[in-house]
Amino acid sequence: MDPPAGFSGLFPLGQLAYFSKNLQEAEQPVFTLKRGEAHNCFLKSGLVQPVLQVHRNTIPQIRLEMATQDRSSQRLPPVAEPAVEGVPHLPVGHELAEASRFAYAALCGISLSQLFPEPEQSSFCTEFVAGLVKWLELPEAVLPTMTAFANGLGGEGADVFAPILLKDPILKDNRLVIIQDLLSFSLKDGRYDARARVLICHVTSLFRVPLEELDLLEETFLESLKETKEEESETAEASRKKKENRRKWKRYLLIGLATVGGGTVIGVTGGLAAPLVAAGAATIIGSAGAAALGSVAGIAVMTSLFGAAGAGLTGYKMKKRVGAIEEFTFLPLTEGRQLHITIAITGWLASGKYRTFSAPWMALARSSEQYCLAWEAKYLMELGNALETILSGLANMVAQEALKYTVLSGIVAALTWPASLLTVANVIDNPWGVCLHRSAEVGKHLAHILLSRQQGRRPVTLIGFSLGARVIYFCLQEMAQEKDCQGIIEDVVLLGAPVEGEAKHWEPFRKVVSGRIINGYSRGDWLLSFVYRTSSVQLRVAGLQPVLLQDRRVENVDLSSVVSGHLDYARQMDIILKTVGIHTKPGWDEKGLLLTPGSPPQEEPRQVAATSSSDKTTPGDNPEVATPADPSRVQVPTGLDQSEGASLPATTSPAESPQLCSHGTGPNPLGCPDCASETQGPCPGLD
């Protein structure tokens, strides 16, 4: 069944490749189409002939179908009307009335100027709008006006154009026309700028279209550019509805793309898939494709789909140690593909349920393509153990009273920590200090990976808690120093971040982050203030108070009612994610509670599959596997192993009753938000 070698073998059966005009010159496909999709859009007789020959030998019925299409395509222009199979004709952007096109471009221009008023972004805004004017086939005369809009002149608000657009007879019933057109436009160069996505999200909300629709469009788009196995495990009804929707849109997305001509190569899917690719490219591009990887055409496809350096990512990371970093791997959290990705970064590893990097993120559904970063499991494990010890065992009874006033009076009082707690401080201080240092290194490394676009040219969202948030902080800081740092990061979510909370340190992030900068903090997180008492002299900690930076991007979310102690960041992640406005898997709550500590059932096989792909078992999702050569690690927190058994129930039980005010009973009696809010002002800082 294996097709013969050569470029045609790249495409799984039933697929059709569309090649750019000069086949001899460029042997790489512009994009591939599924069988049914090709009806009259791209087929040019003759061009598909080579592919046809191959399939003719293998699957007769396809040949038949193609032959008919081939004939019909001779009558039709390359970009034909998509009136197929009773699907109503939906026009693409440039088919709208001129007034609507003008309003559409103006809407984008003004929105851009509102979203990115910074002078360093103005070239992007101008270029985007200029491109859009061309894309919409608007006369050049409107260019000065649009440029003025994009530079913040003359805009009384983009919302004035939205109602006008919605009155357009075509758009009235199909608001998605604009969204899909904007998406096609943004992707036409084979990259997906984070700023473009923020704009599309903005326009989507102006049109009052739910963001899920956008996700769906993006998925559809991606699907139409590459073959995916139909393996969605949704309920039958939902999936049918989804597919119907998709089928309708796919056609128009493709038509939208076709209008740019033969030069469109999509390179937006990313290199973070590298571990998967190494595991067996067959699963992604088909077994035939894997065989052809060595060929020139094969490399071209891989390059365009997975980013230039994608395949080399794993090897690079495994072979070379970067600075002081011992472990740095991306683990897939979800199996899907999406035009934007999310990277979740765990702050510490604990015993039991939270011993894996992915455990806290089970509810995360920001994108259908999500990864979690596995980094320095050895040290994070030590830290987690220490945190648990402090919280559950030693400190609980003794420090209870003293800590209460500590929390209530803010960080000022951190200078007068109770002596009882200070005696056990060495348990935590050492791993904390190590992790603090490592997280900064890891953050910088992550920055360079993102800057080199290993993830492909598509927007990235970073979510992290505790030291994971610190990784993000340093990643952003490192990126901000580079010139081409813009348009990569979409949103960042920092939860309980042990980093400086001074606004001036966050200022450079505006350049890097296109969407939102969310700082989730908890005033009652005494552990964070405790570990911070000596680590540095910073008194404003982002994880304890809002970051007072005036920017549309910055959102401070007070999580005090959800997070009553530092360990809650992992335990309450689903609630936290909901609170900060990140999509979570529906119906997760029950599922999350059903999970018993130490047995996260779904993830185990997937992790194994992912790790087996690499030549070394480095992704220490399971600490025992990850660092078997280091027996000392287990003993490092001496006495912890004994206390672990006792601490485990104590630390897991509050997960079931998170909202309870646990005066004097829980492991962290002082995090009770009610207590805190009674006497504590909005900002516990010194000033």
Partner 1 sequence: MRGHLSSVKGGEPDWGGQLGSERSGVRMDEDVLTTLKILIIGESGVGKSSLLLRFTDDTFDPELAATIGVDFKVKTISVDGNKAKLAIWDTAGQERFRTLTPSYYRGAQGVILVYDVTRRDTFVKLDNWLNELETYCTRNDIVNMLVGNKIDKENREVDRNEGLKFARKHSMLFIEASAKTCDGVQCAFEELVEKIIQTPGLWESENQNKGVKLTHREEGPGGGACGGYCSML
Return the number of the residue (11 or 102) whose C-beta is nearest partner 1. Answer: 102
Return the number of the residue (145 or 400) whose C-beta is nearest partner 1. Answer: 145
Instruction: Indicate the Cα dihedral angle 145, 148, 154, 158, nearest 10°.
Output: 90
**Could you tell me the sign of the dihedral formed by the alpha carbons of 76, 82, 85, 89, in that order?**
negative
- Report if residue 106 touches partner 1, rule: CB under 8 A: yes
Candidate segments 41-49, 133-141, 248-256, 271-279, binder of partner 1 by CB under 8 A? 133-141
Distance (Å, whole) CA 38 – CA 314: 36
Return the number of the residue (98 or 674) whose C-beta is nearest partner 1. Answer: 98
Q: Record the tokens describing residue 123, joined without a space.
A: 């070239």
Interface with partner 1 (CB under 8 A), residue from 71, 89, 167, 241: 167
Structural element, H or E, at residue 16: strand 15-19
- Report if residue 138 touches partner 1, rule: CB under 8 A: yes
Which residues sit opposite 555 in a β-bridge?
Answer: 518
Interface with partner 1 (CB under 8 A), residue from 144, 586, 601, 631: 144
- Report if residue 122 touches partner 1, rule: CB under 8 A: no
Candidate segments 163-171, 385-393, 567-575, 601-609, binder of partner 1 by CB under 8 A? 163-171
Q: What angle do CA 239, 360, 339 make, to 5 degrees?
A: 45
Candidate segments 144-152, 317-325, 354-362, 514-522, binder of partner 1 by CB under 8 A? 144-152
- Report if residue 169 touches partner 1, rule: CB under 8 A: no
Distance (Å, whole) CA 280 – CA 287: 9
Candidate segments 152-160, 492-500, 579-587, 649-657, binder of partner 1 by CB under 8 A? 152-160
Return the number of the residue (109 or 459) whose C-beta is nearest partner 1. Answer: 109
Q: Are 382 and 431 in contact (CB under 8 A)?
A: yes
* Total number of residues that touch partner 1 (CB under 8 A): 30
Encode 367-434 in three state secondary structure: CCCEEEEEECHHHHHHHHHHHHHHHHHHHHHHHHHHHHHHHHCHHHHHHHCCHHHHHCHHHHHHHHHH
Q: CB within 8 A of 212, min separation 6: which ones?
A: none
Q: Record the tokens describing residue 227, joined without a space.
A: 């073959």
- Report if residue 682 touches partner 1, rule: CB under 8 A: no
Closest approach, Cβ 153 to partner 1, in A, equals 6
Longest dimension (CA), the chain: 87
- Report if residue 102 touches partner 1, rule: CB under 8 A: yes
Q: How many CA atoms lie within 13 Å of 111's alpha carbon, on the beta-carbon side?
A: 27
Return the number of the residue (4 or 154) whose C-beta is nearest partner 1. Answer: 154
- Report if residue 538 touches partner 1, rule: CB under 8 A: no
Please give the backbone phi and psi of residue 271, each rounded to the nearest 5 degrees, phi first: -80, -10
Q: Which runs of consecutive H residues, i.e. helices, occur in 34-83? A: 49-58, 60-75
Q: Record the tokens describing residue 209, joined without a space.
A: 């279209």
Instruction: Indicate the Cα dihedral angle 343, 348, 350, 354, nearest 10°.
Output: -20
Interface with partner 1 (CB under 8 A), residue from 53, 67, 71, 98: 98
Return the number of the residue (155 or 393) whose C-beta is nearest partner 1. Answer: 155
- Report if residue 154 touches partner 1, rule: CB under 8 A: yes
- Report if residue 164 touches partner 1, rule: CB under 8 A: yes
Closest approach, Cβ 208 to partner 1, in A, equals 18
- Report if residue 687 touches partner 1, rule: CB under 8 A: no
Return the number of the residue (166 or 625) whose C-beta is nearest partner 1. Answer: 166
Interface with partner 1 (CB under 8 A), residue from 8, 69, 73, 113: 113
Return the number of the residue (113 or 342) whose C-beta is nearest partner 1. Answer: 113
Which residues are near partner 1 by CB under 8 A?
A: 97-100, 102-103, 106, 113-114, 117, 138-139, 141-142, 144-145, 148-149, 152-157, 160-161, 163-164, 167-168
